[in-house]
């Protein structure tokens, strides 16, 4: 099943716009695991089990695994999600961006090695840095557009000769000339609701991956009002607020409680 169809099915089945980001920091793991990078898989698997019926997607961040020599644990986790939550799509948050033959290898990493359903990319090297990901039929390709960090404005808010901001130009390309296979989406931060609404205006049907709700301070209700449309799916990500809701043996139950509350808040805003 394609990423788009999996996302639509999981959103409907779980009545959820929530994506749980899997960003495991050994220093923040709960009692009994804290500081032990060999327990990354165990921690993430418990989070998956606790939230798999509440989410529309999971989003592991590759750096949190690679920095601790835990790529094998990431492979194990991806396989675990496919076995235990096969209806939930998995977005590999890699933010890759490179030319031709190198991009081909990154695409193989995401879709063959890790078996991701979608991957995040940086589009700022142009279409030929994105094209190698498109032959993987049904896989989603989600481009950075207006990111949630304050420094994103250094480039993304610059005005081009035609009057567009750079993030608007990326949105137009993703919704138009670049979307030859109909599988592109955009990353737009919840911390910039006005820009989020503008991206939705320019790309009315593209899936939007929206980080920044929770620990980064993005407002869940404002996010849904700005971006959700019946024909335009949204994937609202929360990572730290869910993962580190508890530091004791009940960490998974506490993570579930936060995920449930966030899902309910998003659903109420959707109406």
**CATH code linked to domain 3-270:** 3.20.20.70
Look at residue 216 and tell me whether its pLDDT is greater than 80. Answer: no
Look at residue 183 and tell me whether its pLDDT is greater than 70. Answer: yes
What is the reported pLDDT for 47?
Answer: 98
**What value does the mean pLDDT take over residues 43-67?**
98
What is the reported pLDDT for 205?
Answer: 97
- Give the DSSP H or E segment for 59: strand 57-60
- pLDDT band for position 20 (cuts 50, 70, 90): very high
What is the reported pLDDT for 59?
Answer: 98
Active-site position among 34, 52, 59, 95:
95
**Contact by Cβ (8 Å): 48, 80:** yes
- pLDDT band for position 214 (cuts 50, 70, 90): low
Q: Where are the domains of the chain?
A: 3-270
What is the reported pLDDT for 122?
Answer: 97
- pLDDT band for position 192 (cuts 50, 70, 90): confident
Q: What angle do CA 198, 203, 209 make, to 5 degrees?
A: 85
Count of residues for the chain?
Answer: 271
What is the reported pLDDT for 149?
Answer: 87
CA distances from 262 to 24, 88, 168, 206, 211 (A): 20, 18, 29, 23, 13
**What value does the mean pLDDT take over residues 21-29?**
98
% of the chain with per-residue pLDDT over 90: 89
What is the reported pLDDT for 271?
Answer: 82
What is the reported pLDDT for 51?
Answer: 98
Give exposure, 78-114, as e/b (b: 16+ Cβ within 10 Å): bebbeeebeebbbbbbbbbbeeeeebeebbebbbeeb
What is the reported pLDDT for 218?
Answer: 73
**What value does the mean pLDDT take over residues 62-66?**
98
The reply to whether 95 belongs to the active site is yes
For residue range 86-137, list pLDDT tens digits in order.
Answer: 999 999 999 999 998 999 999 999 999 999 999 999 999 999 999 999 999 9
% of the chain with per-residue pLDDT over 70: 99
Q: 3-class DSSP state for residue 119?
A: strand
What is the reported pLDDT for 213?
Answer: 77
For residue range 220-229, list pLDDT tens digits in order.
Answer: 888 999 999 9
Look at residue 219 and tell me whether its pLDDT is greater than 90. Answer: no
**What value does the mean pLDDT take over residues 148-174?**
93
Tokens of 228: 């959700």
**Contact by Cβ (8 Å): 5, 13:** no
Look at residue 172 and tell me whether its pLDDT is greater than 90. Answer: yes
**Contact by Cβ (8 Å): 191, 199:** no
């Amino acid at each position: 099943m394609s990423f788009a169809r999996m996302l639509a099915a999981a959103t409907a089945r779980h009545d959820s716009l929530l994506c749980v980001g899997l960003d495991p920091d050994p220093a923040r793991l709960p009692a009994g695991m804290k500081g032990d990078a060999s327990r990354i898989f165990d921690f993430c698997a418990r989070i998956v089990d606790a939230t798999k019926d509440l989410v529309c997607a999971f989003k592991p961040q590759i750096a949190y695994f690679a920095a601790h020599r835990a790529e094998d644990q990431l492979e194990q986790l991806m396989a675990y999600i496919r076995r235990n939550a096969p209806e939930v799509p998995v977005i590999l948050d890699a933010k890759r961006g490179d030319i031709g033959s190198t991009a081909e290898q990154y695409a193989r990493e995401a879709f063959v090695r890790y078996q991701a359903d979608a991957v995040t990319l940086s589009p700022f090297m142009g279409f030929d840095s994105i094209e190698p990901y498109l032959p993987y039929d049904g896989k989603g390709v989600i481009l950075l557009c207006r990111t949630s960090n304050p420094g994103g404005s250094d480039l993304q808010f610059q005005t081009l000769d035609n009057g567009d901001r750079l993030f608007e130009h990326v949105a137009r390309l993703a919704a138009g000339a670049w979307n030859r296979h109909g599988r592109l989406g955009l990353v737009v931060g919840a911390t910039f609701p006005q820009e989020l609404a503008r991206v939705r205006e320019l790309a009315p049907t593209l899936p939007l991956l929206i980080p920044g709700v929770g620990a980064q301070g993005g407002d869940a209700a404002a996010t849904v009002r700005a971006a959700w449309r019946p024909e335009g799916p949204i994937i609202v990500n929360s990572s730290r607020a869910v993962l580190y809701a508890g530091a004791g043996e009940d960490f998974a139950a506490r993570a579930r409680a936060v995920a449930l509350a966030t899902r309910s808040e998003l659903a109420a805003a959707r109406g």
